[in-house]
Structure 1
Protein backbone atom coordinates (compact mmCIF):
# COMPACT_ATOMS: atom_id res chain seq x y z
CA UNK A 1 0.00 0.00 0.00
CA UNK A 2 1.28 3.47 -0.85
CA UNK A 3 2.59 5.59 2.01
CA UNK A 4 3.18 9.31 2.04
CA UNK A 5 4.18 11.92 4.59
CA UNK A 6 2.62 15.35 4.81
CA UNK A 7 2.12 18.16 7.29
CA UNK A 8 -0.35 17.55 10.09
CA UNK A 9 -3.73 19.25 9.60
CA UNK A 10 -6.40 19.89 12.25
CA UNK A 11 -8.71 17.36 10.58
CA UNK A 12 -6.06 14.68 11.39
CA UNK A 13 -6.58 15.20 15.13
CA UNK A 14 -9.03 12.34 15.69
CA UNK A 15 -6.78 9.84 13.87
CA UNK A 16 -3.67 11.04 15.73
CA UNK A 17 -5.39 10.67 19.09
CA UNK A 18 -6.60 7.19 18.10
CA UNK A 19 -3.04 6.23 17.08
CA UNK A 20 -1.77 7.51 20.41
CA UNK A 21 -4.42 5.56 22.35
CA UNK A 22 -3.50 2.39 20.45
CA UNK A 23 -0.07 2.66 22.11
CA UNK A 24 -1.40 3.02 25.68
CA UNK A 25 -0.17 1.60 28.03
CA UNK A 26 2.66 -0.28 26.28
CA UNK A 27 4.41 2.74 24.78
CA UNK A 28 2.78 5.79 26.38
CA UNK A 29 1.00 6.30 29.69
CA UNK A 30 -2.55 7.58 29.25
CA UNK A 31 -1.59 10.72 31.18
CA UNK A 32 0.49 11.94 28.19
CA UNK A 33 -2.65 12.43 26.09
CA UNK A 34 -3.21 15.83 27.73
CA UNK A 35 0.28 16.90 26.62
CA UNK A 36 -0.40 15.66 23.09
CA UNK A 37 -3.68 17.57 22.93
CA UNK A 38 -1.92 20.72 24.13
CA UNK A 39 0.86 20.28 21.56
CA UNK A 40 -1.68 19.84 18.77
CA UNK A 41 -3.43 23.04 19.88
CA UNK A 42 -0.25 25.11 20.18
CA UNK A 43 2.67 23.42 18.36
CA UNK A 44 6.25 24.55 18.99
CA UNK A 45 7.40 23.15 15.66
CA UNK A 46 6.17 21.28 12.62
CA UNK A 47 4.16 18.07 12.90
CA UNK A 48 3.79 15.42 10.21
CA UNK A 49 1.58 12.41 9.56
CA UNK A 50 2.22 9.23 7.62
CA UNK A 51 -0.74 8.34 5.45
CA UNK A 52 -1.20 4.79 4.22
CA UNK A 53 -3.96 4.61 1.64
CA UNK A 54 -6.29 7.19 3.15
CA UNK A 55 -5.53 6.42 6.80
CA UNK A 56 -3.24 8.33 9.16
CA UNK A 57 -1.02 5.64 10.66
CA UNK A 58 1.78 7.65 12.29
CA UNK A 59 2.51 11.07 13.68
CA UNK A 60 5.52 13.04 14.88
CA UNK A 61 7.28 16.33 14.81
CA UNK A 62 10.19 18.29 16.10
CA UNK A 63 11.17 21.53 17.75
CA UNK A 64 14.23 23.67 17.09
CA UNK A 65 16.01 25.64 19.77
CA UNK A 66 16.47 29.35 19.10
CA UNK A 67 19.52 29.37 21.34
CA UNK A 68 21.20 25.97 21.14
CA UNK A 69 22.37 24.14 18.02
CA UNK A 70 19.72 21.56 18.76
CA UNK A 71 16.59 19.92 17.42
CA UNK A 72 14.31 17.79 19.57
CA UNK A 73 12.04 15.04 18.29
CA UNK A 74 8.54 15.02 19.74
CA UNK A 75 5.72 12.47 19.56
CA UNK A 76 7.09 9.87 17.21
CA UNK A 77 4.32 7.31 17.23
CA UNK A 78 3.01 4.65 14.89
CA UNK A 79 -0.44 3.11 15.25
CA UNK A 80 0.06 -0.13 17.20
CA UNK A 81 -1.27 -2.39 14.46
CA UNK A 82 1.39 -0.97 12.08
CA UNK A 83 4.44 -1.46 14.34
CA UNK A 84 7.31 -3.28 12.68
CA UNK A 85 6.41 -2.23 9.13
CA UNK A 86 9.12 0.42 8.61
CA UNK A 87 6.78 3.36 9.13
CA UNK A 88 8.61 4.56 12.25
CA UNK A 89 11.96 4.53 10.46
CA UNK A 90 10.42 6.34 7.49
CA UNK A 91 8.96 9.08 9.70
CA UNK A 92 12.19 9.45 11.67
CA UNK A 93 14.28 9.84 8.50
CA UNK A 94 11.78 12.36 7.12
CA UNK A 95 11.94 14.50 10.27
CA UNK A 96 15.75 14.40 10.37
CA UNK A 97 15.99 15.38 6.70
CA UNK A 98 13.42 18.12 7.21
CA UNK A 99 15.57 19.57 10.01
CA UNK A 100 18.66 19.25 7.81
CA UNK A 101 16.95 21.39 5.18
CA UNK A 102 16.24 24.26 7.56
CA UNK A 103 18.17 27.52 7.31
CA UNK A 104 19.33 27.07 10.90
CA UNK A 105 20.09 23.36 10.64
CA UNK A 106 20.82 21.88 14.07
CA UNK A 107 24.03 19.99 14.65
CA UNK A 108 22.46 17.71 17.25
CA UNK A 109 19.03 16.08 17.42
CA UNK A 110 17.85 14.74 20.75
CA UNK A 111 15.01 12.52 21.85
CA UNK A 112 13.90 11.16 25.18
CA UNK A 113 12.08 7.87 25.21
CA UNK A 114 11.27 4.82 27.28
CA UNK A 115 13.85 2.08 27.71
CA UNK A 116 11.94 -0.38 25.50
CA UNK A 117 12.08 1.95 22.46
CA UNK A 118 15.63 3.24 22.91
CA UNK A 119 16.97 0.35 20.82
CA UNK A 120 15.01 1.60 17.79
CA UNK A 121 16.82 4.92 17.97
CA UNK A 122 20.18 3.25 18.50
CA UNK A 123 19.63 1.13 15.36
CA UNK A 124 18.92 4.41 13.53
CA UNK A 125 22.25 5.94 14.57
CA UNK A 126 21.43 7.64 17.87
CA UNK A 127 23.71 7.29 20.88
CA UNK A 128 22.56 7.05 24.48
CA UNK A 129 23.48 10.04 26.62
CA UNK A 130 21.77 9.12 29.88
CA UNK A 131 19.41 6.71 31.57
CA UNK A 132 17.10 8.00 34.27
CA UNK A 133 15.41 5.28 36.38
CA UNK A 134 11.96 6.65 37.19
CA UNK A 135 12.75 9.67 35.01
CA UNK A 136 9.16 10.13 33.86
CA UNK A 137 6.37 11.11 36.23
CA UNK A 138 4.70 7.83 35.30
CA UNK A 139 7.65 6.05 36.95
CA UNK A 140 9.01 4.68 33.68
CA UNK A 141 12.70 4.80 32.91
CA UNK A 142 13.74 7.67 30.65
CA UNK A 143 16.53 7.31 28.11
CA UNK A 144 18.04 10.41 26.48
CA UNK A 145 19.66 9.94 23.07
CA UNK A 146 21.25 12.16 20.43
CA UNK A 147 22.07 12.08 16.74
CA UNK A 148 24.73 14.19 15.05
CA UNK A 149 23.18 15.69 11.90
CA UNK A 150 26.37 15.81 9.82
CA UNK A 151 26.55 15.99 6.03
CA UNK A 152 27.53 12.31 6.03
CA UNK A 153 24.51 11.40 8.17
CA UNK A 154 22.24 13.34 5.82
CA UNK A 155 23.71 11.49 2.83
CA UNK A 156 23.03 8.14 4.56
CA UNK A 157 19.45 9.18 5.32
CA UNK A 158 18.86 10.21 1.71
CA UNK A 159 20.30 6.92 0.47
CA UNK A 160 17.72 5.10 2.58
Structure 2
Protein backbone atom coordinates (compact mmCIF):
# COMPACT_ATOMS: atom_id res chain seq x y z
CA UNK A 1 0.00 0.00 0.00
CA UNK A 2 1.35 3.41 -0.97
CA UNK A 3 2.10 5.58 2.06
CA UNK A 4 2.95 9.24 1.75
CA UNK A 5 4.08 11.80 4.29
CA UNK A 6 3.11 15.38 3.53
CA UNK A 7 2.46 18.73 5.16
CA UNK A 8 -0.60 19.00 7.39
CA UNK A 9 -3.54 21.12 6.19
CA UNK A 10 -6.70 22.15 8.04
CA UNK A 11 -8.59 19.55 6.00
CA UNK A 12 -6.61 16.88 7.90
CA UNK A 13 -7.96 17.88 11.31
CA UNK A 14 -10.76 15.30 11.36
CA UNK A 15 -8.41 12.50 10.31
CA UNK A 16 -5.80 13.47 12.90
CA UNK A 17 -8.46 13.53 15.63
CA UNK A 18 -9.60 10.05 14.54
CA UNK A 19 -5.99 8.86 14.88
CA UNK A 20 -5.87 10.45 18.35
CA UNK A 21 -9.15 8.83 19.38
CA UNK A 22 -7.88 5.40 18.32
CA UNK A 23 -5.11 5.76 20.91
CA UNK A 24 -7.44 6.45 23.86
CA UNK A 25 -7.18 5.67 26.74
CA UNK A 26 -3.84 3.84 26.78
CA UNK A 27 -1.64 6.46 25.12
CA UNK A 28 -3.53 9.70 25.78
CA UNK A 29 -6.15 10.95 28.19
CA UNK A 30 -9.48 12.24 26.96
CA UNK A 31 -8.53 15.55 28.60
CA UNK A 32 -5.66 15.92 26.10
CA UNK A 33 -8.01 15.71 23.13
CA UNK A 34 -8.99 19.39 23.41
CA UNK A 35 -5.31 20.39 23.63
CA UNK A 36 -4.61 18.41 20.46
CA UNK A 37 -7.64 19.87 18.67
CA UNK A 38 -6.50 23.39 19.59
CA UNK A 39 -2.98 22.61 18.41
CA UNK A 40 -4.33 21.38 15.06
CA UNK A 41 -6.09 24.70 14.44
CA UNK A 42 -2.71 26.41 14.29
CA UNK A 43 0.24 24.03 14.76
CA UNK A 44 3.17 25.56 16.60
CA UNK A 45 5.65 23.37 14.75
CA UNK A 46 6.19 21.81 11.34
CA UNK A 47 3.37 19.27 11.27
CA UNK A 48 3.08 16.30 8.93
CA UNK A 49 0.48 13.68 8.14
CA UNK A 50 0.98 10.13 6.99
CA UNK A 51 -1.62 9.04 4.48
CA UNK A 52 -2.61 5.75 2.88
CA UNK A 53 -5.20 5.67 0.10
CA UNK A 54 -6.45 9.12 1.10
CA UNK A 55 -6.82 8.20 4.80
CA UNK A 56 -4.78 9.87 7.54
CA UNK A 57 -3.09 7.01 9.41
CA UNK A 58 -0.57 9.03 11.41
CA UNK A 59 0.66 12.52 12.18
CA UNK A 60 3.56 14.17 13.93
CA UNK A 61 5.60 17.29 14.05
CA UNK A 62 8.91 18.81 14.95
CA UNK A 63 10.40 22.19 15.76
CA UNK A 64 13.91 23.59 15.49
CA UNK A 65 15.30 26.21 17.87
CA UNK A 66 18.54 27.37 16.22
CA UNK A 67 19.48 29.70 19.09
CA UNK A 68 19.52 26.81 21.55
CA UNK A 69 20.87 24.34 18.97
CA UNK A 70 17.97 22.04 19.79
CA UNK A 71 14.99 20.47 18.11
CA UNK A 72 12.02 18.56 19.41
CA UNK A 73 9.33 16.15 18.36
CA UNK A 74 5.70 16.99 19.03
CA UNK A 75 2.35 15.21 18.86
CA UNK A 76 3.52 12.08 17.03
CA UNK A 77 0.96 9.31 16.73
CA UNK A 78 -0.16 6.51 14.44
CA UNK A 79 -3.64 5.00 14.26
CA UNK A 80 -3.83 2.12 16.70
CA UNK A 81 -4.65 -0.44 14.02
CA UNK A 82 -1.23 0.30 12.46
CA UNK A 83 0.81 -0.09 15.65
CA UNK A 84 3.64 -2.56 15.10
CA UNK A 85 3.61 -2.22 11.30
CA UNK A 86 6.62 0.08 10.97
CA UNK A 87 4.58 3.18 10.14
CA UNK A 88 5.44 4.82 13.46
CA UNK A 89 9.13 4.25 12.84
CA UNK A 90 8.83 5.66 9.34
CA UNK A 91 7.06 8.78 10.63
CA UNK A 92 9.61 9.27 13.42
CA UNK A 93 12.54 8.84 11.03
CA UNK A 94 11.00 11.28 8.55
CA UNK A 95 10.90 13.93 11.25
CA UNK A 96 14.41 13.13 12.48
CA UNK A 97 15.83 13.25 8.95
CA UNK A 98 14.24 16.65 8.37
CA UNK A 99 15.79 17.90 11.61
CA UNK A 100 19.20 16.67 10.44
CA UNK A 101 18.96 19.08 7.51
CA UNK A 102 19.65 21.78 10.12
CA UNK A 103 23.35 21.14 10.82
CA UNK A 104 23.43 23.51 13.79
CA UNK A 105 21.08 21.28 15.80
CA UNK A 106 23.02 19.44 18.50
CA UNK A 107 20.25 17.50 20.19
CA UNK A 108 16.59 16.56 19.97
CA UNK A 109 14.11 16.48 22.85
CA UNK A 110 10.78 14.78 23.30
CA UNK A 111 8.44 13.66 26.01
CA UNK A 112 6.51 10.41 25.94
CA UNK A 113 5.01 7.80 28.26
CA UNK A 114 6.03 4.46 29.71
CA UNK A 115 4.19 2.81 26.82
CA UNK A 116 6.39 4.29 24.09
CA UNK A 117 9.74 5.27 25.61
CA UNK A 118 11.24 1.95 24.45
CA UNK A 119 10.37 2.81 20.85
CA UNK A 120 12.41 6.01 21.14
CA UNK A 121 15.28 4.26 22.95
CA UNK A 122 15.68 2.07 19.85
CA UNK A 123 16.15 5.30 17.86
CA UNK A 124 18.93 6.40 20.23
CA UNK A 125 17.05 8.61 22.69
CA UNK A 126 18.06 8.50 26.35
CA UNK A 127 15.67 9.06 29.25
CA UNK A 128 16.69 12.09 31.30
CA UNK A 129 13.75 12.27 33.71
CA UNK A 130 10.67 10.25 34.64
CA UNK A 131 7.70 11.94 36.28
CA UNK A 132 5.27 9.39 37.74
CA UNK A 133 1.70 10.29 36.72
CA UNK A 134 3.22 13.18 34.75
CA UNK A 135 0.40 13.25 32.20
CA UNK A 136 -2.39 11.88 34.37
CA UNK A 137 -2.97 9.15 36.92
CA UNK A 138 -1.35 6.01 35.58
CA UNK A 139 0.47 7.65 32.67
CA UNK A 140 4.07 8.58 33.45
CA UNK A 141 6.03 11.23 31.58
CA UNK A 142 9.46 10.35 30.18
CA UNK A 143 11.63 13.28 29.11
CA UNK A 144 14.12 12.04 26.55
CA UNK A 145 17.01 13.46 24.56
CA UNK A 146 19.09 12.40 21.57
CA UNK A 147 22.55 13.93 21.21
CA UNK A 148 23.30 14.40 17.52
CA UNK A 149 26.93 13.43 17.27
CA UNK A 150 28.23 12.07 13.97
CA UNK A 151 27.42 8.46 14.92
CA UNK A 152 23.80 9.33 15.75
CA UNK A 153 23.46 11.32 12.54
CA UNK A 154 24.73 8.42 10.43
CA UNK A 155 22.50 5.92 12.26
CA UNK A 156 19.42 8.08 11.55
CA UNK A 157 20.35 8.55 7.90
CA UNK A 158 20.88 4.81 7.39
CA UNK A 159 17.64 3.92 9.16
CA UNK A 160 15.76 6.55 7.17
CA UNK A 161 17.09 5.20 3.90
CA UNK A 162 16.03 1.72 4.99
CA UNK A 163 12.36 2.67 5.50
CA UNK A 164 11.80 4.72 2.36
CA UNK A 165 9.47 3.18 -0.24
Alignment TM-score, normalising by the size of structure 2:
0.89
Moved over 6 A (4+): none
Query: Take 1:116 and 1:143, find their aligned partners in 2: how far apart are those partners?
Result: 10
Partner of 2:148: 149
Unaligned runs of 5+ in 2: 160-165
Q: What secondary structure, in the 3-state scheme, does the structure 1 residue paired with 2:76 have? A: strand
Query: Take 2:68 and 2:21, find their aligned partners in 1: how far apart are those partners?
Result: 33
Q: Do the aligned partners of residues 153 and 21 (structure 1) sit closer, same or farther apart at CA in structure 2, a change above 3 Å counting?
A: same
Query: Take 1:60 and 1:88, find their aligned partners in 2: how far apart are those partners?
Result: 10
Paired residues in the alignment total: 158
User: Is residue 111–residue 141 contact of structure 2 (8 Å, CA) maintained in 1?
Assistant: yes
Query: Take 1:49 and 1:43, find their aligned partners in 2: how far apart are those partners?
Result: 12
Unaligned runs of 5+ in 1: none
Alignment TM-score, normalising by the size of structure 1:
0.92
Query: Take 2:104 and 2:69, find their aligned partners in 1: how far apart are those partners?
Result: 8
Partner of 1:158: 157
Partner of 1:46: 46
Partner of 2:116: 117
Deviation for aligned residue 1:66: 5.2
